[in-house]
Structure 1
Amino acid sequence: MAHRLFEGKQHASSYWKYRISPDHLIQQVLDFLEKQKGHPFELAVDVGCGSGQGTVLLAKHFASVVGTDVSPAQLEVALQYAKQPNITYRQCVAEELPFADSSVDLITAMSAFHWFDRPRFLQEAHRVLKPRGCMALLNYTIDMELSYDDCCSQTLNQVCKEFYAALQPYRSPHLGHSTIDLYREAYGSIPYPDKEWHECVWVKRSMPLSSYMGLVESFSSYQTLLRDDPQKAITLSQDICQRLMSLMRVTSAETEVVVAVRYFCLLACKPQEA
């Protein structure tokens, strides 16, 4: 069965506020769809859409985009930001999508596929995709990197690594040691002849240090620690933030830093004769 997390309203809001959208990876997805299927781009379905950041990115390229998620709280946040008239949202599980056979041009899952019942979802994606329709599964690794002018990035990132290591014991066993292995396994299991694997795609954003902290605090491992031992979670976060500020020689967590996130992406095209 799929795993249900990220369903609290506060957690859902933090997704929209802090998560880094893979803007230029979306262009790679669209280029793949153009090469494999071509226009028209009629219907895109963003599965496990969360607060809708990826759904919004797709909207300007398709006649209609539907974001689906199991969480009412996430969809409530997504609806607040769905300004484009061609965006709609549906509450459903990833393994049972409310779309007809061979009706979808593009199906995406952005930082969500690892929570699904993966074999069942891949079967469902195959069912709803049009012949020559495409699937894009995107995610990023936890080893984000910070940089700040006049500060040694290696020293900063050693503190970040300690943060990630402290959260490792609270990582869901469902995810294994690394989610990238789950996506590589899926890539190998998909029988389509036209598929691509992209790794080490760095996405960089300038943001306040406080937003970087908020990003890490939105991870499922931190949320598990927060649920199990709130004081330990808060103390850990405050200590990491203070150590980073000390290394940067600043007194405000609103100081801008550059955060680099390493994405990877699986692209696959359903064959014409399927």
Structure 2
Amino acid sequence: MAVRLFEGKEHASSYLKYRLTPPEELISKILTFLKTHNGSLRELAVDVGCGSGQGTVLLAPHFTQVVGTDISPAQLEQAVKHNSAPNISYRECPAEELPFENGSVDLVTAMSAYHWFDHPRFLQEVDRILKPKGCLAILNYSLDIELSYGDCSKELNHICKEFHDILRSHQHSYLGSGSRVLYEQTYNSMQYPVKEWEPSYWVSQLVPLSRYIGMVESFSSYQLLLEKDPEEARRVSTDITQRLLSAMKVTSIETQVTMAVRYFYVLACKPSAQ
């Protein structure tokens, strides 16, 4: 795996608590793509870079067996602790060295993880383990998160943009110009003839303001700032929180806001013969 992050126990716990669960409508799109190009075969799905398993559990009702893989023992500990589905198991391994037989997997997913992999090696490994007509789904969301509350939404989003711009200056160098660019480049260079690219898919949900703050604090850019300058990281987060509360004219960070998140994704189907 190209980059190792999210491995501390405290960060893994925060990741489980605050990170977005992939929306059901995106899972539905993946399953529809799979059914369209692979018929009804749903024996084995592998969720790579599964973290604490939020996306892995969503696959369980649709496959005979689901395996989540991650390189972080702390993340897998959280995943195992909060999994009750009997057909899910977890394996500790790099994304580029997946412990599955050639041509044995119906679906490979990477939900908000692909950008941290060694991309050519991962895609080569995916091609190895996928069955003919097996499918790959890689998805992520951008920092262009929007908040809505009463008549102050414009001000809230101005504050959020400031928060995100500060964190972009601490973004891990491996991400280069951003993960969305990487996903689009992956789509364009992928040799599978059957593929889809969705650059902008918005999903909205009602959440407490604390969920938005906690989610942003779980981002790698905030964690890198926290490691480098804990006092500055906490100052920035506290300042942003207070400004949001002031704009909303409320005092509780448990006040509900509408949070809109922009996802992007690549879907691809391995040919029946290569």
**C-alpha separation in 2, matches of 1:196 and 1:26:** 15
Tell me which residue corresponds to 1:131.
132
Unaligned stretches of 5+ residues in structure 2: none
Tell me which residue corresponds to 1:54.
55
Q: Which residues of 2 match residues 148-159 of structure 1 at below 5 A?
A: 148-149=149-150, 151-159=151-159
Matched, 1:92 2:93: yes
Tell me which residue corresponds to 2:249.
249
Pairwise CA distance, 1:173:
1.1
What code does the residue aligned with 2:158 have? Q
| Percent identical | 60
1:125-171 deviation per Cα after TM superposition (whole angstroms, max 9, x unaligned): 0000000000000001111000112x321111000000011112210
What code does the residue aligned with 1:226 have? L
What code does the residue aligned with 1:242 have? Q
Unaligned stretches of 5+ residues in structure 1: none
Pairwise CA distance, 1:199:
2.1
Q: Which residues of 2 match residues 150-169 of structure 1 at below 5 A?
A: 151-169=151-169
Secondary structure of 1:214's counterpart equals: helix
Tell me which residue corresponds to 1:263.
263
**C-alpha separation in 2, matches of 1:205 and 1:19:** 13
What code does the residue aligned with 2:38 have? K
**C-alpha separation in 1, matches of 2:2 and 2:183:** 16
**C-alpha separation in 2, matches of 1:34 and 1:235:** 49
Tell me which residue corresponds to 1:42.
43
Runs ≥4 residues deviating over 4 A: none
**C-alpha separation in 1, matches of 2:203 and 2:16:** 17
**C-alpha separation in 1, matches of 2:3 and 2:25:** 28
Tell me which residue corresponds to 2:232.
232
Give the TM-score taking structure 2 as reference length: 0.98
Secondary structure of 2:62's counterpart equals: coil
Secondary structure of 2:46's counterpart equals: strand
**C-alpha separation in 1, matches of 2:271 and 2:29:** 19
Pairwise CA distance, 1:204:
1.3
**C-alpha separation in 1, matches of 2:189 and 2:60:** 30
Tell me which residue corresponds to 1:183.
183
Matched, 1:200 2:200: yes
Give the TM-score taking structure 1 as reference length: 0.98
